[in-house]
Structure 1
Amino acid sequence: MKRVIMLLAVLLLSPIFPGGSFAAEAPFHIGIATLTVSQAEDTYRGAEHMVKKYGDTSDGGMIKHITMPDNFMQEMETTISQIAGLADDPKIKVIVVGEAVPGTTEALRRVKEKRDDIICLTGSPQEDPNVISSVADYSVASDKIIRGYLNIYAAKKLGAKTFVIISFPRHMSYELQARRRAIFEEACKDLGLKYVFETAPDPVSDVGVAGAQQFILEKLPSWINKYGKETAFFCTNDAQTEPLLRQVAKYGGIFIEPDLPSPLMGYPGALGIDLKNEAGDWPAIMKKVEAAVIAAGGKGRMGTCAYSQSWATVCALTEYGKRIVEKKATLGKSKDLLECYASYTPGAEWFIRPYTELGTGVTNRKYQLIYQDTYIFGKGYLKLTDVKVPEKYFNLKNK
């Protein structure tokens, strides 16, 4: 009887029992750095998911998750020291920076000075590709170039006659944003859509976020009246996505996807969707959002990506790093990375390619651009990952 009780005690402490500790210490550790829930919830939830799957290092598991300061631009030294501090753990073999904010390059430089054997992976780098690639072993960013063409391609496929981009001078001063605007305009010309650029207030200006959002709420009805309901709208600012979606659903119009495609971007607030019970369950989130969009009259006219790219990137890079250490994947092999994305995003298709600098034509294979197929509510996936983008768009310069 005593042996039976002891055996049950051992089993209850094993990882196959919810709430139990890990039976043995993980052979190595992976550090994940993300922003907080208030700054970047999707990346934070991605790290949470990996902790749940592979265990926290404090309980004998594999994952050590740290958060960077919300005010990261003013607290850059704190960000740097927190990331670099992960290298003090002798069992750390991989560091993943979920959203590589400014300061990540310096942090990883310090990591490599301590331990050059640590594999450093970054998602959504906010520093120049060549800068971050000087220390990071592999980086992944959203492919704004290809998406520029595919947004227009998708708009035409849904019957749009006009494409309206809504932005402001600060965003248009960023190279990738400006290149995408030029691609929008050229693709409209090639595919037979009318191109329109509308200027909105910058949320960091004197009007603030509330004023910028109110502008969109007030202007959308008149824009739809002016350009017609067969008009696709796109805005470059996340804060303005919610009011844009609300008015497109109310007055008609077409919305392909947000600037940062995710079912959580704009839709819950615009349509009053409570997703507390579905948190982290992307198929369940999509099902609930889709039902709300269809009920609001947006069937076949409004879309997004089925999985948050930010969440998926944290999960995929962590899995990729784990497989590299375990000799089940090769560092720098994009096919292996895509397999990691696929394992966390069933049903979604991804496309990846290396970044090529416009000015020099030099291809940086340590910096990959990625995009996910677009899902239109009530219609399904558009199979955009199968579309061949004309070569000229990759070399199109800003106007």
Structure 2
Amino acid sequence: MNLRKLAIGLLAASTLFVACGKKEAPVEAQETKTEQAVENKNYHIGVITTTVSQSEDNFRGAEAVIAEYGLVKDGGKITHVTIPDNFMQEQETTISQMVSLADDPDMKAIFTAEGVPGTYAAFKAIREKRPDIKLIVNNPHEDPEMIGQVADVEINPDFFSRGYLMVKAAKDLGADKFMHISFPRHLGYETIARRRTIMKATAEDLGMEYIEMSAPDPVSDVGVPGAQQFILEQVPNWINKYGKNVAFFATNDAQTEPLLKQIAAHGGFFIEADLPSPTMGYPGALGIEFTDEEKGNWPKILEKVEAEVVKAGGAGRMGTWAYSYGFASVQAGVDLAIRSIEEGIALNDLSEVIKSYTKYTPGANWNGTVYVDGNGVEKDNIFMLFQDTYIFGKGYLNMDKVEVPKKYLNLKN
């Protein structure tokens, strides 16, 4: 009987527990949890960008996250450093500026908007000095697989999927030829070279003529002015030779502006830039200026650029991404860092990366893949990301929903 009474008593106690709902945790456990939550809020994030003269979108993206989270010196979360404009010749300065962020004991994550040469050395030193700091790299200039060894997550614009998607979009819009414009230095980059191989194979499979065109390198003796002048002079000649149903793509940002100017004036197609944005090339090509209120407001920027493109006769022929990749990447990178620190999300989760990008680009869809090296091996912390293509006067093409055949992604140079 005693055992029976004990069992009934335990059953009644458990029933009462369920009926009354979840019991409060012990005071001691609650205090520990609260302390941990407060500790998780007291952290800093380092944001590294180039200067406004090198990449305005990256710099403005840093301004946006500073406005959202505040500077450390003002009691906020963000420490922003800019690397030298001449980072190729000033790598020691670049490395020291990056590594100096780890001197802050409250630094818990570092994001770099562009993994310029020197990033690997800097992040390797940070990793050895402060293994607790989360490291996020966007758009690396150094070998992706090497950077992936020192970063928690590496994000790239999806060169490979876009190699197929840009050509397919051009075909769908009415182009029958695809011209790839580049120079030897860029073609020495593994990502650019593989993308060119994919573009060529896609064009041929879709029954389009593929045209390889060489242009002057802006860092050569002719400089940016000479490289741009070449494009200005040659595009009308190319259109006369190949017709108006040719789609153009240049691997260099500086050559995008004159390319857009001449396509708007003479015909042809332009799907999107190497690093797409409504502000990439279009303002200079079409004489567009933005007010202070419009800067950083991408829907307003897109609307203004679209009006000028349509006015110039480029409707249905010229496109972009609706949001700047560089600007959105800074916002998304900081959001990833914060959610990793506060919520414990895994940085090497593609769905979480896309979630952060989508948060800051309402109306635009993203997709992506895990990076696959030349031997077909997936690198689970390296992601290739792309935004749906927006064609002025037409709208989104839903390219994010197009499945890229694996045979193209497996192509080698």
| Structure 1 position 39, deviation (Å) | 1.0
Residues 34-56 of structure 1 deviation map (CA, whole Å, 9 limit, x = unaligned): 11101111111111100000111
2:63 paired with 1:48: yes
Kindly indicate whether the alpha-carbon contact (under 8 Å) linking 1:100 and 1:126 is maintained by their aligned counterparts in 2: yes
- Which of 177, 181, 186 in structure 2 is aligned with 1:166? 181
Q: Does 1:297 align with 2:309?
A: no
8 Å CA contact retained: 2:367, 2:387: yes
Corresponding residue of 2:150:
135
Larger Rg: 2
In the alignment, is the contact (CA less than 8 A) between 2:62 and 2:330 conserved in 1? yes
Give CA deviations for 1:225-270 in whole Å, capped at 9, x if unaligned: 1111111111111111111100000011111011111111100000
Describe the superposition over 1:170-194 as per-residue Cα deviations: whole angstroms up to 9, x where unpaired.
2222222221111111111111111
- Which aligned pairs between 1:98-113 and structure 2 lie closer than 5 A? 98-113=113-128
Which residue does 1:321 correspond to in 2? 337
Partner AA of 1:342 in structure 2: T
Q: Choose the corresponding residue for 1:84, options 99, 108, 116.
A: 99
Who is 1:286 aligned against? 302
2:398 is the alignment partner of 1:383: yes
Deviation of the 1:169 alpha carbon: 2.1
CA contact (8 A) 1:342 1:349 kept: yes
Q: Which residue of 1 aligns with 2:264?
A: 249
CA distance in 2, matches of 1:102, 1:211: 25
Matched with 1:22 is none
Runs of 4+ in structure 1 over 4 Å off: none
The residue matched to 2:288 in structure 1 has which SS? coil
Please report how far the alpha carbon of residue 372 of structure 1 lies from its aligned counterpart in structure 2 after TM superposition. Answer: 0.8
What is the Cα deviation at residue 109 of structure 1? 1.7
Cα distance in structure 2, aligned partners of 1:332 and 1:170: 31
Q: Which residue of 1 aligns with 2:81?
A: 66
Q: Shift in Å at residue 114 of structure 1?
A: 2.1
Aligned mate of 2:369, from 353, 368, 373: 353
The 3-state SS of whatever aligns with 1:39 is coil
Q: Secondary structure at the match of 1:107?
A: helix
Asked if the contact 1:351–1:371 (Cα under 8 Å) also holds between the matched residues in 2, the reply is yes
TM-score, reference length from structure 2: 0.88
Q: CA deviation at 1:204?
A: 2.1
Counting only pairs closer than 5 Å after superposition, residues 143-222 of structure 1 correspond to structure 2 as: 143-222=158-237
What is residue 243 of structure 2 aligned with on the other side? 228
Output the amino acid matched with 1:227.
Y
User: Could you report, residue by residue, the CA deviation over 1:130-182 in whole angstroms, capped at 9, with x for unpaired residues?
Assistant: 21122111110111111111111000111011111112222222222221111
- In structure 1, the gaps of 5 or more residues are 1-24
One-letter code aligned to 1:115: R
- Which whole-Å deviations, capped at 9, do the CAs of 1:88-107 have from their partners, x for residues lacking one? 11111111111111111111
Q: CA deviation at 1:205?
A: 2.2
User: What is the number of residues matched between the two proteins?
Assistant: 373
Asked if the contact 1:203–1:211 (Cα under 8 Å) also holds between the matched residues in 2, the reply is: yes
Letter aligned with residue 305 of structure 2: V
TM-score by length of 1: 0.91
- State the alpha-carbon separation in 2 of the partners of residues 334 and 188 from structure 1: 29
In the alignment, which of 262, 267, 287 is matched to residue 272 of structure 1? 287
Partner of 2:133: 118
* 2:47 aligned partner, one-letter code: I
SS at match of 1:44: helix
**3-state SS of the aligned residue for 1:148?**
helix
